[in-house]
Structure 1
Amino acid sequence: MIRLIGIDLPRNKRIEYALTYIHGIGLTSARKIVKNTNISPSTRTDNLTNEETIALRDELEKINLKLEGDLRRFNGLNIKRLNEISCHRGKRHRNSLPVRGQRTRTNARARKGTKKTVTGKKK
């Protein structure tokens, strides 16, 4: 099992898709990293050599992206700032409602949680 930036990459996956398990790396960034390290994109994580893992680790350190903890902290601080200035988006985050203008009369169950039935409600 390969460990990069504190993340265990899954076994027996192609390296481009395994790199997307790192928070902050999508498929495009993963393909760019694999291309820069001269590793075949069809290589599985089980079949990586020590030299290839060292090259991946060096490339991840050299790349100009926020990854894992830094990115999570950055996003958390942005949400905290929105809450503190009490803007519309901050209030929506605080109340666990959709932030980007989606409707809430129906839908939005993922954000609002399970339905709470009100008993004895008269119209």
Structure 2
Amino acid sequence: MPRILGVDIPANKKLEYSLRYVYGIGPTRAKAVVAESGLDPDRRAGDLSEEEVNQLASIIGDKQYLCEGDLRRERTANLKRLSAIRSVRGMRHMRGLPVRGQRTKTNARTRKGAIKPVRK
């Protein structure tokens, strides 16, 4: 299993799809990285040599894409900032409610969790 940026990418998938397992790399960036590397997009990730894996990792690093730990830290810092300034979005994140204006009277079960029965 090849490792890119500390993540084991699946060896049995095509290169374009296996790169998506890195947090912060989606379909568009994966296509761009494979195209820039000059590798065949139909190759499997397990067939890559060590130099080719390093080449992919260096392309991601050179483009200065926020990936993995850096991206997770930035997102966490953004949420902490919203909570610290007591904005509406920050308060709704803290309370576990939908953040972007969705209705909560009937739906929002994914965000609010299972219905809790009221006891007398």
Deviation at 1:54, TM superposition (A): 1.9
Bigger CA radius of gyration: 1
Question: Which stretch has the larger CA shift, 51-60 or 1-10?
Answer: 51-60
Computed over aligned residues only, the root mean square deviation of the Cα atoms, in angstroms, reads 1.0
For 2:15 and 2:24, locate their aligned partners in 1 and report how far apart those are by CA, in whole Å: 16
TM-score (structure 1 length as normaliser): 0.93
Equivalent residue, structure 2, for 1:40: 40
TM-score (structure 2 length as normaliser): 0.95
Q: Please state whether the residue corresponding to 1:18 is helix, strand or coil.
A: helix
C-alpha distance after superposition, 1:30-62 (max 9, x if no partner): 000000100111111111122311211211211
Give the 4+ runs in structure 1 shifted more than 4 A: none
Give unpaired runs (5+ residues) of structure 1: none
> How many pairs align?
120
Deviation at 1:109, TM superposition (A): 1.1
Q: How does 1:20-59 map to 2 (within 5 A)?
A: 20-59=20-59
Amino acid at match of 1:35: A
For 1:87 and 1:51, locate their aligned partners in 2 and report how far apart those are by CA, in whole Å: 48
For 2:6 and 2:51, locate their aligned partners in 1 and report how far apart those are by CA, in whole Å: 19
Equivalent residue, structure 2, for 1:117: 117
Q: How does 1:1-123 map to 2 (within 5 A)?
A: 1-120=1-120
Give unpaired runs (5+ residues) of structure 2: none
C-alpha distance after superposition, 1:45-104 (max 9, x if no partner): 111122311211211211121111100000101100100111110110010000000111
For 1:57 and 1:24, locate their aligned partners in 2 and report how far apart those are by CA, in whole Å: 13
For 2:116 and 2:75, locate their aligned partners in 1 and report how far apart those are by CA, in whole Å: 30
Aligned 8 A contact 2:19 2:30 in 1: yes
Question: Which stretch has the larger CA shift, 17-26 or 46-55?
Answer: 46-55
Amino acid at match of 2:88: H
